[in-house]
Amino acid sequence: MLARLNVSMLPIGLTLVLVGWSDSYVAAGVLGGALTAGQALVGPARGRAADRGAVRKLLVLTGIGYLVGLGALVTMTRTVPGGGWPIAVLVALLTGMSTVPISQVSRAVWPKIVPGELGRTLFTLEATGSEVVQTTGPLLTSLLVTALDPGYAVIACGVVAFVGALAFAAALGSAGIRGGAERTAAKPQAETGTAAETGADAGTEGDTATSASAVTRASAPEPEERRTLFALPKFTLAIVVTLVMMAALFSVNLSLVAWARDSHESGLSGVLIACWTIGSVVGGFGMGALRKDVPHSARFAAMAVGMALLAVLLPPVTETAPVWLVLVVLFLGGTAIAPSMAGNFAQVSGAVPQERRAEAFGWLATAGTGGAALSMPVTGVLLEASGPATSVAVGAALALCATVLSYIGSKRAERNDGLVSARA
């Protein structure tokens, strides 16, 4: 979790640095989007590298590159005039390509550590733990911004990422884990069974079983390593939904930072985002305690409702909404985030063979960062043209799209399961 702290620290600090430099939310959105696009471009390749056993070397090298890249960005904001911000796009892209792949590597090794029925609970707890980090990061950034300067907060992100990468690499070495999912001598049929068993607890709607996908994998004549993972419908759906969901979440993050800055309370942005993630933590623990799973479409619908309510409280719809009311809405809306993310983690894990899970989570990381990369420039344009209410409303619409996609996918999975049962 320490290694992920920089992920939650960076958005606020980097946005404030870039807006202060260029005096433009569009520029901040484009540069932030370039950084996340870099993450998206290399996600699958880094996942495959982790599957092949190069995970510790990968962690160390990316930690170094990320620290150097963030340092270069901050240096440019101090030495280059604001009108020259376009030249920083390449630096942001390369920095994003050096992001430490903590999340995809860790999610790939969880099923190896805790297999079977505990998989769904583990992914929920993992998502909830991530939200604890997401709460701490913004508060720490706000403290650094208030006491020092946004540039120092960005440099701190690089240092935390580097130290976290070294620590995680050492932990994996101590545990004897070389890759995301070490290869075994087991037969392909046995591996397919393992994936199906894991997926039985991780469906799109109410954790529907993955028997149809398992049958497809077991009977396919083409070797698993040569097939694209996108031949698996359940995996493809999870990737698309993740892209849409993360686009929605990042539109809210950037909008909250903009609202706080325009209110001359830059430090408030950390409190706002922290409150949102505290709600996610509560929702994650609540979901983990439930014995009956909540359909994924219902989780996304709750997220959409929370974002829609938030949009009503922001300018230009409401010019002077009480901060406490905004915090309450953020908390309640946030309760759907961790459960939604946990469902996608488990779905991806159950949809693919064990030896390709790091690659699968690489694609998941690509979808998440790709959604953010697409969302941030658009959010920047909307902020300058209409204000935060419009950009958050667009996020609510995206969450609604995720709801519809999840519902359609669940119905398709139910039909496939019915066909498999009938043939049996």
- Collapsing DSSP to helix, strand or coil, 316 comes out as coil
DSSP 81-136: -GGGGGGHHHHHHHHHHT---HHHHHHHHHHHHS-TTHHHHHHHHHHHHHHHHHHH
Instruction: Specify the number of domains making up the chain.
Output: 1
CA within 13 Å, CB half, 421: 8
Q: What is the dihedral of CA 251, 254, 260, 263, to 10 degrees?
A: -80
Which CATH number do you get for residue 273?
Answer: 1.20.1250.20
77: closest CA among 128, 8, 173, 152?
152
Integer-rounded Cα radius of gyration of the chain: 21
Query: What is the model's pLDDT at position 129?
Result: 65
Domain range enclosing 117: 2-423
* Nearest alpha carbon to residue 122 among 135, 132, 112: 112
Please report the pLDDT score of residue 51 as a whole number. Answer: 62
Q: What is the pLDDT along the chain (424 residues), one digit of tens a residue?
A: 666 777 778 888 888 899 889 888 889 889 988 998 888 788 677 766 666 666 778 888 889 999 999 999 999 999 999 888 999 999 999 999 988 887 767 766 666 655 555 555 666 666 666 666 766 777 787 788 877 888 898 999 999 989 988 888 887 777 666 554 444 333 333 333 333 333 333 333 334 333 333 333 334 444 455 578 888 888 888 899 999 999 999 899 889 988 988 887 777 888 898 888 888 888 888 877 776 777 888 889 999 999 999 999 999 888 888 999 999 999 999 999 888 887 777 778 777 887 787 778 778 877 887 888 888 889 889 998 889 999 999 999 999 999 999 888 777 766 665 555 555 5
Are 177 and 109 in contact by the 8 Å Cβ rule? The answer is: yes
pTM above 0.85, yes or no: no
Closest CA to 51 of 169, 179, 198, 227: 179
Phi and psi, residue 354, nearest 5°: -60, -40
